[in-house]
């Protein structure tokens, strides 16, 4: 019985080694008797919506050494250090380091360097093609595109988010060797080809991106701002046409040795950072009120209803003031359209309180606040929205005009687009399609409707009011004759350690055109401008310049009244 049991154990072990463990043992044997020279897969290109190359590759080579196969370490170290621009001592140390089977001498050197050692028959030294990433437009859209790590993998931005498509699968050249890694005489090499990565085409238009970057660069310098940002979107499907974050950096000269600077400069603040939007948020409050009025909600304000002309509102013992002193009849006899023109905070306190927390929070949810928009990009913040159950009335009143709430610029742009496009909230997107190197379309994105926000009637009424803001109100510096721009300015104070930071503001403007059938939207944000700081003075002219650039670029004709 015992003999039979032992026989069964041996049989089970034999089965495990021969069948279960076979592949692993074969791999170990192959590793012992071969050396592998990796063949880097060609990383996929990134193109803009017009086919313009934004991220590509330049030929480069990586040189390896196998110390056990090196015949003359000192002589080869002298030759290699001179040819590759390396330290002789460090090269010699690598060539004599028998603790590792293979050592990288230099990564991504140019063809000239490789040609200088080619044909010298340096024992134990090999090279393979390992292309370097190249960005033809330098700093353009750098936070959106992102960059790759030393080993060629996506490290940030779209390079990281779509790395699985872009990276491809590397190949190998296998050489037979003895146990110490010396090539066997007469042995032939086995070639395992790599698979190139896929190409990614964006919704981004590099021409519009260039226009927006040039405009925001002027604002950044003119006002000595902390940062200057802009988003340009197609409101009909939420495809992103441009994303600007300044300051920026050159993707071909990445400050890898200064991680703090690199993290700051490579961060896409439009997606990852939050701020109090201020008066630009009044678009959402007005949209909710108009929709409720059209639905027959008796507490909502009719468009022609007159607000109290008092400068202040007191809620929970907290006094909320208008930016204007209301002297000499200023802001008196205001309708909703005029309250938007004048950006009068107390009027939007009235609107929020009239709608009530439950109803207003339903609209905040519909407009996408408190959650990610779903953009195909890593690190999206969800903003800060106080829980309805713990919300004090004084805080709720402030949300009505864009305080006591923090949003990402992307959230505000999407919400504004959904307010003026007929009430349709789509998932924003940066990538249009993914193709093979041969041009076959492997995946294609389509507009994805997430929610309805307001009715088309409410949206049209709101947009006509926002057109009045640009024509007659605080947004006059965004007005373009014949192109019917609609929009809203914002000037928000900044807070530090729970207190208002004196002299620190966020100036903003969000606008769209043509107002009679919105197509393009721009959100402009200038953080901590020096000197002038009102959104009407700082941000609105930037939006006008961006729109004018797009009009000329796209050959858009004036809108007939």
Say how far apart CA 388 and CA 369 lie, in whole Å: 13
Detail the DSSP E strand segments found in 437-498: 441-444, 449-452, 486-496
Say how far apart CA 462 and CA 486 lie, in whole Å: 10
345-355 and 282-294 helices, crossing angle to 10°: 50
Say how far apart CA 297 and CA 355 lie, in whole Å: 9
282-294 and 456-472 helices, crossing angle to 10°: 140
Residue matched to tokens 């170290």: 77
Helix (DSSP H) and strand (DSSP E) numbers for the chain: 20, 21
Closest CA to 386 of 370, 371, 363: 370
Strands lying side by side in the sheet with 34-39: 34-39, 171-176, 190-192
Say how far apart CA 32 and CA 35 lie, in whole Å: 8
500 within 8 A of 375, measured Cβ to Cβ: no
What tokens appear for 236 in the block? Answer: 């009909």
389 as an active site residue: the answer is no
Taking residue 363's Cβ as centre, other Cβ atoms within 10 Å add up to 20
Say how far apart CA 248 and CA 298 lie, in whole Å: 50
Is cis: bond before 514, omega within 30 of 0? yes
Handedness of CA 204, 206, 210, 211 (dihedral sign): negative
Tell me how far CA of residue 158 lies from CA of 230, 238, 430, in angstroms.
Answer: 18, 18, 9
Closest CA to 178 of 35, 335, 23: 35
Cβ partners under 8 Å of residue 370, min gap 6: 364, 382, 383, 385
Catalytic residue among 239, 266, 279, 474: 279
Handedness of CA 499, 500, 504, 505 (dihedral sign): positive
379 within 8 A of 268, measured Cβ to Cβ: yes
- Main-chain phi, psi angles of 223, to 5 degrees: -105, 10
Cβ partners under 8 Å of residue 161, min gap 6: 146, 154, 376, 377, 378
Percent composition of the chain: helix, strand, coil (DSSP 3-state, to 5): 40, 25, 40
410 within 8 A of 271, measured Cβ to Cβ: yes
**Catalytic residue ranges:** 279
């Amino acid at each position: 019985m015992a003999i039979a049991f032992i026989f069964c154990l041996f049989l089970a072990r034999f089965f495990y080694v021969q069948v279960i463990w076979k592949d692993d043992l074969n791999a170990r044997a192959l590793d012992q008797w071969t050396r592998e020279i990796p063949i880097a897969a060609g990383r996929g290109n990134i193109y803009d919506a017009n086919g313009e190359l934004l991220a590509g590759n330049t030929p480069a080579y990586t040189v390896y050494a196998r110390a056990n196969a090196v015949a003359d370490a000192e002589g080869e170290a002298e030759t290699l250090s001179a040819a590759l621009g390396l330290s002789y001592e460090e090269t010699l140390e690598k060539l004599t380091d028998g603790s590792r089977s293979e050592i990288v001498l230099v990564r991504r050197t140019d063809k000239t360097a490789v040609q200088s050692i080619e044909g010298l028959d340096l024992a134990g030294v090999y090279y393979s093609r390992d292309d370097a990433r190249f960005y033809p437009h330098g700093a353009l859209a750098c936070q959106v595109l992102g960059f790759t790590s030393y080993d060629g993998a996506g490290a940030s931005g779209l390079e990281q988010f779509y790395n699985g498509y872009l990276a491809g699968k590397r190949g190998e050249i296998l050489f037979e060797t003895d146990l110490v890694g010396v090539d066997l005489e007469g042995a032939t090499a086995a070639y395992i080809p790599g698979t190139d990565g896929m190409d990614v085409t964006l919704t981004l238009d590099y021409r519009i991106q260039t226009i927006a970057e040039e405009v925001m660069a002027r604002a950044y310098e003119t006002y000595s701002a902390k940062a200057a940002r802009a988003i340009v979107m197609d409101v009909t499907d939420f495809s992103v046409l441009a994303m600007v974050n300044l300051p920026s950096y050159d993707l071909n000269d990445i400050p890898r040795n200064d991680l703090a600077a690199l993290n700051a400069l490579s961060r896409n603040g439009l997606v990852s950072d939050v701020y109090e939007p201020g008066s630009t948020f009044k678009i959402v409050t007005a949209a909710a009120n108009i929709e409720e009025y059209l639905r027959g909600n008796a507490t909502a304000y009719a468009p022609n209803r007159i607000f109290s002309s008092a400068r202040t509102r007191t809620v929970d013992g907290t006094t909320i003031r208008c930016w204007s002193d209301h002297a000499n009849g200023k802001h008196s006899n205001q309708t909703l359209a005029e309250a938007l023109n004048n950006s009068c905070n107390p009027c939007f306190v009235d609107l929020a309180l009239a709608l009530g927390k439950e109803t207003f929070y339903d609209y905040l949810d519909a407009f996408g606040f408190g959650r990610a928009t779903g953009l195909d990009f890593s690190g999206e913040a969800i903003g800060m929205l106080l829980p309805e159950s713990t919300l004090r009335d004084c805080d709720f009143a402030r949300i009505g005009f864009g305080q006591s709430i923090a949003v990402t610029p992307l959230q505000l742009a999407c919400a504004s687009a959904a307010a003026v496009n007929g009430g349709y909230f789509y998932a924003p997107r940066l990538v249009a399609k993914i193709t093979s190197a041969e041009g076959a379309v492997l995946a294609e994105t389509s507009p994805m409707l997430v929610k309805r926000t307001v009715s088309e009637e409410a949206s049209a009424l709101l947009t006509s009011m926002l057109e009045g803001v640009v024509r007659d109100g605080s947004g006059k510096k965004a007005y373009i004759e014949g192109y019917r721009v609609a929009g809203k300015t914002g000037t928000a104070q900044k807070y530090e350690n729970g207190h208002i930071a004196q002299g620190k503001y966020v100036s903003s403007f969000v606008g769209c055109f043509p107002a009679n059938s919105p197509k393009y939207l721009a959100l402009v944000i200038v953080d901590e401008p020096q000197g002038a700081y009102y959104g009407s003075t700082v941000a609105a002219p930037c939006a006008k310049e961006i729109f004018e650039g797009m009009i000329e670029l796209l050959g858009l004709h004036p809108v007939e009244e």
